[in-house]
Structure 1
Amino acid sequence: MGWVGRTAVVAGLGGAVTAGCLGLVTGALAPDVGVGRRTRPLGPQVVDIAAPREVVFDVIAQPYLGRSTRAMREKARVLERGDDMVLAEHFTPVAGGRLTAKTTETVRFTRPGRIDFRLVRGPVPAVIESFRLTEHASGSRLEYEGGLGTDGWALGERWGRLVAARWEETVAASLSAVKKEAERRSALP
């Protein structure tokens, strides 16, 4: 094989690696080989909210069980809806907003105190999460925790650290938005 052939092979491999990386980052490539599985915790994150837990629950459930605002439709889209569970796609900007990661998750609602998420498709093979709501002296407490699993031993574990950092940033922003909206609704006459 001459230099032209070698150059073509290297260019092809480079393109494949780039496509694979983009697929992982955006969730288009969903690796689940079940070998070398490692899990890591997500959270806990705790937020005290000056609103009754029923109001907080409704704020979280609204985009899934009720009508979604235009802003929320840019972040999530319900694919299937049941009485207490939905299948939804979630969209998260990554790479400085140049790319969008898409995950598909089931979301189960146990009124008034719990909402559970389970990853169906995304940049890692396994994520389970829960939002637990309890009554608190000043209103309610929202507790988030979960676990994220990756395959591929140490390499997968490194990938999991990157994904978990962005995942937890996204959750923190969501918790902040829930707090703001629940407190706004509670302050209404």
Structure 2
Amino acid sequence: MLRIGAVATAAVAGGGVAAGYLGLVTGAVPLDVGVGRRTRPLGPQTMDVAAPREVVFDVIAQPYLGRGTRAVRKKVHVLERGSDMVLAAHHTPVMGGRLTATTVETVRFTRPERVDFRLVRGPIPAVTESFLLTEHESGTRLMYEGELATDLWRAGQWWGDLVAPRWEATVAMSLAAIREEAERRASLA
């Protein structure tokens, strides 16, 4: 009898740990306790885009301020829109596409030189990011930089070290898509 109870307890505990991990990974159960906070930089990532700065800015802002394509609407859902800021949910496939991580972020627009992101809810307690746009000889230099913060000392640092490379890889894919679309639009002008 004792053995069955121990197995059941272990199964329930294991299920709880698994559910907690999945909730954390997907952003459904955010962990923000503000204790033992550690920060680490994100980026910088820099990319030259053969398009005017206004065009690059418009491509970045389109999913938030304009009407996004069907594919973009699957990734970005604007929850609230103001004149220079939106609250948006971002949906990102994780774990080989088996799960979707959802982050909720404010996105602030300073035309035409920057777009700032601040995490409201997600798999980590705090992230701030910026896309900085400067005029460059061949068009626009787009620079990404940010900061990621985790709680709970070394455990949080471990989690941040696990999340940050994937976060930056997702940003790199976004930057490549921004460049492709901005250069396409510039070639049509």
User: Residue by residue, what CA displacement relative to the aligned partner does 1:77-131 show, whole Å, maximum 9, x if unpaired?
Assistant: 0000000000000011110111100000000000000100000000000000000
> What amino acid does structure 2 have at the position aligned with 1:41?
P
Letter in 1 for 2:100: T
- 2:14 is equivalent to residue 14 of structure 1: yes
For structure 1, the residue ranges without an aligned partner over 5 or more in a row are none
2:43 aligned with 1:55: no
In structure 2, runs of 5+ residues without a counterpart are: none
| 2:149 aligned with 1:149 | yes
Distance 1:123 1:130 in 2: 19
Matches within 5 A, 1:10-49: 10-49=10-49
Distance 1:168 1:92 in 2: 12
Query: Equivalent pairs: percent with the same residue?
Result: 71
**For 1:66 and 1:79, how far apart are their aligned partners in 2?**
13
Q: Output one character per residue of 1:34-78: Cα deviation in whole Å (capped at 9) or x when no partner.
A: 111000000000000000000000000001000011010111100
Once the two structures are superposed, the pairs formed by residues 88-167 of structure 1 within 5 Å of their partners are 88-167=88-167
Aligned to 1:179: 179
- Indicate the RMSD between aligned Cα atoms, in angstroms: 0.7
- Secondary structure in 1 aligned to 2:33? coil
Q: Which runs of 4+ in 1 moved over 4 A?
A: none
Name the CA distance, whole Å, in 2 between partners of 1:87 and 1:182: 24
Q: Structure 1 length normalisation: TM-score?
A: 0.99
Please state whether the residue corresponding to 1:97 is helix, strand or coil.
Answer: coil
Report the residue type matching 2:67 in the other structure: R
Give me the whole-angstrom Cα distance separating, in 1, the residues matched to 2:105 and 2:25. Answer: 17
Aligned partners of 1:4, 1:140: CA distance in 2, in Å?
66
2:89 corresponds to which letter in structure 1?
E
TM-score, normalised on structure 2? 0.99
